[in-house]
Amino acid sequence: MIPNDFIQTLLARVDIVDVVDRYVPLKKAGANYTACCPFHSEKTPSFTVSPSKQFYHCFGCGAHGTAIGFLMEYGGKSFPDAVEELARDAGLEVPRSVTPAEDARRVQGQDLTGLLLHAAKFYRTALKEAPRAIDYLKDRGLTGPIAVRFGIGYAPDAWQPLARVFPDYQDKALETAGLVVAGDAGKRYDRFRDRIMFPIHDASGRVVGFGGRVVDKGEPKYLNSPETPLFSKGRELYGLFQARQAIRAAGKVVVVEGYMDVVALAQHGVEYAVATLGTATTAAHVQKLFRLTDTVVFCFDGDEAGRRAAWRALENALAWLADGKNAKFLFLPDGADPDDYIRRRGSAAFEGLVGEAVPLSDFLLSELAMRHPPTSAEDRAALVNAAKPLLAQLHAPILSALLRRRIAEIAGLPEIELAALLPASAPRSAPEAPARTPRLPVTSNDRRLLRALLFRPQLATGLDISLLGATNPERPAVAFIQSATSASPVELTTAALIEQARGTSFETLFDELATEIFGWDDDYDVNAELTGLVEKLKRGQENAAFREIVRSGPVDDLSAEQRKRAQEYRRGGPGGDARET
């Protein structure tokens, strides 16, 4: 775990303008810098970086964040990797508060990464000396540059070729990395033999595993690395590291079922494809893809097995859909796979199919109707029951409402009756989605107060939190800001506060508030704003106390001044109820 005070020190040392400019050329525009957004396709720059706030925001697609967030979203890095990169640039060493077990896992991960990197180099070299493997790739229409881009190699047809790379072939780490198998009687041999090798990279570009395809006939046709401390097939997607920029440029990603499909599509110019690794599409896959793009197209064979796989992808995609996020389904004709289809028909034909992919809503409804044909009351009841758990996962209000309307039509029920039968959306179960803090009305004094404190976190230290009622929804957020400010070794910035809220229940709220204050001038008199809000809080407290006095006793027991205020209160006059928004 990286200490919060280090994150604050780091963000005080780096300049987000320098960080972003390394990847996206920025132009000065007044106090800020602008560029065409790297997260969506546009011709007029709407991507803005604020050096004073150390924050970026796109007015076109809404992408926003800190220097750390930019490296995570643009570079596909994990939070620790993004912090490590910024720390290296700033000449800082990242301190970690870890248990001995966690430190051992970190060291092990570094060791395994080195082993896999050496193996990948060996396989690439071996390919140059394997005419049969080279001919196989040429027969599949693959060229040298595409093989280099994906790091394609060859595992020789022998029991222990990796012994040439690793003199200590008995090293247990080779087995842990998935490179070597311990057979019967303790005999060890290479896991991958006589196979075209496809290195699997994580979001940072590290080799974390391999996929191997037999050159001739043999079983299994495809073989992947086993689950290791570095590799999980439920998390990783083949080709994602190479495809990130093309995905952003295209505004979509195509998910296929094999690494040869990804390479063949890239060979023909369709560079925005990734592949699952011998498993169904998981929720982790979907979440990772929706961070990169708004449109995910799942591509499957058109047979029954393909439709079953598509349904599993649909089930895992539902919880990560939002209004504006789209999942679509492409079923290839005649049992073809993407590799076959694009070689026979060309990229234009394939991209035409991508453009005609079936929206998730249409696929969901057609599958429900096919599985439960609404020909009787019992069948329609079965259809509604099948829809219940699916709709409960949706967090896209508009899409959910439209789907419920369509299901009501199919089931022959009035929409209001169907609504009574269907549950509300359940919370997402993934740990990456912390519970949301209730949203405050955009114009409320509560939200104005939080915006002021986010703009100048130091002002929170002088705020009397007792002015906020115990049940006030903003009180926990203000307490969080006060705690973060008092614990910070440097003056807490907006960017540092947002990073400290990452993974907490305040993350979403603070992100929203940050986009609202992005356009505030640096010389904005936030002190005056806060002073006015505090006065309103005090008046609100006084009025609440006075209302309680009025309710709890007869007016005759009040003083002349209190009776005057009571009359004004009943008329809603100047001394009365201050419902200010």
What is the structure's pLDDT at 581? 39
SS3 content of the chain, % helix, strand, coil (to 5): 50, 10, 35
What is the structure's pLDDT at 265? 98
What is the structure's pLDDT at 372? 94
- The top-level CATH class assigned to 445-571 is mainly alpha
Per-residue pLDDT of the chain (581 residues; tens, 9 = 90+): 788 888 988 998 999 999 999 999 999 999 899 999 888 778 899 999 999 899 999 988 888 899 999 998 887 777 888 999 999 999 999 887 656 555 555 555 568 888 999 999 999 999 999 999 999 999 999 999 999 999 999 999 999 999 999 999 999 999 999 999 998 877 999 999 999 999 999 877 889 999 999 998 888 999 999 999 889 999 899 999 999 889 988 989 999 999 999 999 999 999 999 999 988 899 889 988 987 888 999 999 888 889 999 999 999 999 888 888 899 999 998 778 999 999 999 999 999 999 999 999 999 999 999 999 999 999 999 999 999 999 988 888 899 999 999 999 999 988 888 888 876 654 444 333 333 333 444 447 777 888 888 888 888 888 887 777 666 667 888 889 988 888 877 788 889 899 988 878 788 788 888 888 888 887 788 888 888 888 887 777 666 666 666 665 565 666 666 666 666 655 554 444 443 43
Q: Which helix (H) or strand (E) holds 213?
A: strand 207-214
What is the structure's pLDDT at 27? 94
461 secondary structure, DSSP code: G
The CATH architecture assigned to 4-90 reads Alpha-Beta Complex (3.90)
Other Cβ atoms closer than 10 A to 12? 17
What is the structure's pLDDT at 438? 39
The number of helices, as runs of H, and strands, as runs of E, in the chain is: 24, 16
pTM equals 0.66
238 secondary structure, DSSP code: B
What is the structure's pLDDT at 443? 45
Alpha helices in 219-258 (DSSP H): 240-250
- The pLDDT tens digits of the residues spanning 189-222 come to 999 999 999 999 987 788 999 999 999 888 899 9
Of the candidates 23, 196, 521, 424, the one whose C-alpha atom is nearest the C-alpha of residue 529 is 521
Domain boundaries, the chain: 4-90, 100-224, 243-432, 445-571
Strands (E) in 215-356, as ranges, are: 222-224, 253-256, 273-275, 295-301, 326-332
- The top-level CATH class assigned to 100-224 is alpha beta
What is the structure's pLDDT at 283? 87
What is the structure's pLDDT at 358? 97
- Decide yes or no: CATH 3.40.1360.10 for domain 243-432: yes
